[in-house]
């Protein structure tokens, strides 16, 4: 069992959360004995671009998006454009994959599994699509995975739509997929139960932590961070 320090960042601006990940990774590059880090966060509205593209998949103008108060950030993660906002559960593992003996493909599969098991615990069965990374409810995308690996240490991670407003996804081609439909745990529960239901973000957070430790064989310690 490896030690992983968990920090709940609450709601934090995307650039600041990215800085924390980069700082943690740089520290681990200098000292491989440092524990791995696990950050849970929700972000204010932001579009992030990946190495495979971004602005070419904006459906609305940058002026329109600025008027809506949505930030835009270029990143070094894999994948294309995506949206983060309040009501989306985001997990960022800063993990030394070499010391943990985890392959990149297995790590991605495990992050998808965390979302799958979490959704199943809430009564929503979701699935993988062999053509596209992430998790899906039929043809509707519900969760994304994107990583950056440097010196075998990961940053970025997964994002599961829990109860967020899905409207901003209609202003882009999510993940570079034209006309991709998006969904959330809350929306799927409302469809299946035919009544208004809410999903506890705290409950999602605890399930993320539980399945991360179980799937990747980590022992967790918790810290409070003042970001």
Query: Which residues belong to the active site?
Result: 175
3-class SS letters over the chain: CEEEEEEEEEECCHHHHHHHHHHHHHHHHHCCCCCEEEEEEECCCEEEEECCECHHHECCCHHHHHHCCCEEEECCCCCCCEEECCCEEEEEEECEHHHHCCCHHHHHHHHHHHHHHHHHHCCCCCEEECCEEEEEECCEEEEEEEEEEECCEEEEEEEEECCCCCHHHHHECHHHCCCCEECCHHHHHHHHHCCCCCCCHHHHHHHHHHHHHHHHCEEEEEECCCC
């Amino acid at each position: 069992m490896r030690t992983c320090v968990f920090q709940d960042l609450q709601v934090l601006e995307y650039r600041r959360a990215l800085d924390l990940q980069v700082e943690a990774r740089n520290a681990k590059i200098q000292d491989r004995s440092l524990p791995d880090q696990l950050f849970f966060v929700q972000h204010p509205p932001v579009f992030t671009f990946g190495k495979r593209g971004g602005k070419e998949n904006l459906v609305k103008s940058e002026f329109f998006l600025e008027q809506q108060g949505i930030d835009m950030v270029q990143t070094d993660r894999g994948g294309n454009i995506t949206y983060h906002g309040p009501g989306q559960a985001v997990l960022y593992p800063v993990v030394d994959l070499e010391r943990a003996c985890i392959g990149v493909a297995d790590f991605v599969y495990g992050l998808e599994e965390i979302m799958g098991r979490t959704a199943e615990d809430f009564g929503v069965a979701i699935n993988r699509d062999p053509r596209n990374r992430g998790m899906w409810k039929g043809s509707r995308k519900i969760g994304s995975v994107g990583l950056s690996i440097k010196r075998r240490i990961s940053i970025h991670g997964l994002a599961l739509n829990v109860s967020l407003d899905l409207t901003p996804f209609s202003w882009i081609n999510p993940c570079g997929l034209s006309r991709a439909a998006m969904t959330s745990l809350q929306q799927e529960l409302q469809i299946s139960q035919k009544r208004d239901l809410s999903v506890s973000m705290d409950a999602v957070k605890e399930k993320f932590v539980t399945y991360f430790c179980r799937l990747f064989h980590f022992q967790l310690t918790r810290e409070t961070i003042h970001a």
